[in-house]
Amino acid sequence: MNKEFKFLKIINNTLSHSEYIGDDCAYLKKENLTITADALIEDVHFSKKYMTAKEIGKKALIVNISDILASGAKPKYALVTISGKLDENFITNFYEGINEIADKYKVKIIGGDLTSGEKISISVTLIADSCGRRISSRKNAKEKYIIAVCGEFGSSAEGLKCLKANIRNNYFTEYHKMPKLYPKISTNIAKKTLHPYAMMDSSDGLVDCLYQISKQSKVKINIEYDKIPKKTKNKDFVLYGGEDYCLVAALNENDFKKIKGLKKIGTCSFGEGVFIDNQKIEYKGFKHFE
């Protein structure tokens, strides 16, 4: 069991009145709200060496919007807490980035906190309207479901490699700095599906998504490597690279046929584990805590 799973198990065992914690978003049925909170830590999730304050602000909000979109809900309000050795210049540029993305996705910033600290630590809470839609859960995949994706896998990892090695490649480095999101496709899934579905963004990599869905839904997942949309030739980046924010979904076959823009890369069946071209993957968890 990887460390993040172990920690989640501890948390779920310790709390006496928690909702199920295991999805990226919490779904409050009565309030018709979907909520997510993500932390971004300097030199873990981003580096000031490669990103400006404005880019960091944009990304901090966009990765949370990505989680909400993968749940099927509509982003609405955000709270932003930031700590670190901050000056006026950083704060101004950071919030310009936040503002640009908030405007684009019609999110209102309603509060937050500012404190001092050593390294920069950002936490964004995003509150979304579930709009009465079907909200995704990692537990929802079933046998015969289709594994369908959109976006391109591995490009962000390739971009980070270029930045670190000082290789000029605007396509990949821009992809790393500013994830592309797919609001129309995720909204269509939430609106048009007639059956429960699982959906995640690939923030921790493709195999991580498949592993989480397989484990929580208790199904075997097999995908075909050649069918994965990708621009990089590095197989490790395609399968394990994080920060792509592609959509990875497990859907009923009839539901899948209704959604434009999704590509089938595999299927769910009876059993357990994640397989690529029928070879079992021994996955030990994403880099956090390892």
Q: Site residues (CB under 8 A) for a copy of itself?
A: 4, 6-8, 10-11, 14-19, 21, 23, 25-26, 28, 31, 33, 35-39, 41, 43-45, 77, 79-83, 86, 88, 91-92, 95-96, 98-99, 102-103, 106-119, 121, 123, 125, 127, 288-289
Nearest CA among 232, 252, 156, 243 for reference residue 208: 243
- Comparing CB distances to a copy of itself, the nearer of 18 and 47 is 18
- Comparing CB distances to a copy of itself, the nearer of 86 and 281 is 86
- Comparing CB distances to a copy of itself, the nearer of 7 and 171 is 7
CB of 127 to a copy of itself, least distance (A): 7
Q: State the DSSP string of 91-106.
A: HHHHHHHHHHHHHHTT
CB of 7 to a copy of itself, least distance (A): 5
**Half-sphere exposure for 1 (CA within 13 Å, toward CB):** 9
* Lookup result for tokens 């591995």: 154
CB of 202 to a copy of itself, least distance (A): 17
- Comparing CB distances to a copy of itself, the nearer of 49 and 168 is 49
| Contacting residues for 167 by C-beta, under 8 A, at least 6 apart | 161
Q: State the DSSP string of 13-70.
A: HH-SSPPP--SSSEEETTTTEEEEEEEEEBTTTB-TTT--HHHHHHHHHHHHHHHHHH
CB of 14 to a copy of itself, least distance (A): 4
- Comparing CB distances to a copy of itself, the nearer of 19 and 143 is 19
